[in-house]
Structure 1
Amino acid sequence: MKHPYFFGYGSLVNRRTHVFTPCHRARITGWRRAWCATANRPQAFLTAIPDPEAETLGLIAPVPNDDWTALDAREEGYHRHDASAQVVHEAGAVSRIAVYAIPAKDQLASSTEHPILMSYLDVVVQGFAAEYGEDGAQAFFDTTAGWETPVLNDRAAPLYPRAQTLTAAERALVDDGLARLGCRVLSERPSAGRA
């Protein structure tokens, strides 16, 4: 029996953050990954952006009970797009594969008011390292846009609800990637009106 699947390209690549099974490594063409801020969230999140030249690594997993409702709720603020013809995978027969993306009309310019949470970034990089090795983690940095968005170092008191504990090697992957790209890391969220 064929089931619908979804393509995860951020925190969903980290199998520790969800119970969707079975997951399969996959890649999508025609979409790239980028950091994005919206008015309804205090921090930046990853989104998929249409790009005919792009290829993005991730995972696919079946939609729970073939019902999109719970998954749509988890991905609140995102719109679901049919990407069945754009995903290469080894899952066998699937009825449909969707990718979630924040609509362009809802995206805000990069600012310190909506930083990337280090605890969220840690989860994503940990997932890519587990699935694709150190090279895959480095490729995440290289193929993701929006690194002008500041990163809030919340490791001591994680704000991301699905935060994970990283090994020293995993933390080094994150820290080295940020340093290599010259990313701005904040020790605290600036007060309103201060950039």
Structure 2
Amino acid sequence: MKLIEPTTERLQLRQWRDEDREPFAAMNADPAVMEYFPAPLSREESDAGVDRQMVHFQQNGWGFWAVETLADSQFIGFVGIKHVTDDMPFAPAIEIGWRLARSAWGKGYASEAAKASLQVGFEQLGLDEIVSFTVPGNFRSRAVMEKLGMVQGDNFLHPGLPQGHPMQEHVLYRLSAQDYRIARQA
């Protein structure tokens, strides 16, 4: 299986490396980065996330890529596409997602890397649709979704959170291959 590692004007999207674990754990421990998640992650939880991404890459050749800047090879977080878990109400599906270190915010990196991820999904993998989701109050991520041309769908209750949890409600966004192609031609 050929591994896919997109490059943009400023970013390298690549497989995970063991040296990513420490900066990824620091990012996941940052309360500002984790504001729209139930809690910051412990080092063990963060490492388990890296392990899951490495397995997804081994099985598919793509996933949530580790992202580094081309200028200085600095790890800044992840952006990419992956299979959603089977318990999601819209499964099976491929989601696009991102999480960047606070030092990388406000520079357009999420949108830049997400566009490259959509290109892989639609142009190389031939996907019919890509989804994304977040809590309703995460306006920064929602702005990226809308910038990508994604369309807001129905809200849903995230099955990974307990009933009544303040972050259980999520908003779903979708982008079809057809809408992606139309937007690329515009």
TM-score normalised by the chain length of structure 1: 0.32
**Higher RCO structure (Cα 8 Å, ≥6 apart):** 1
TM-score normalised by the chain length of structure 2: 0.33
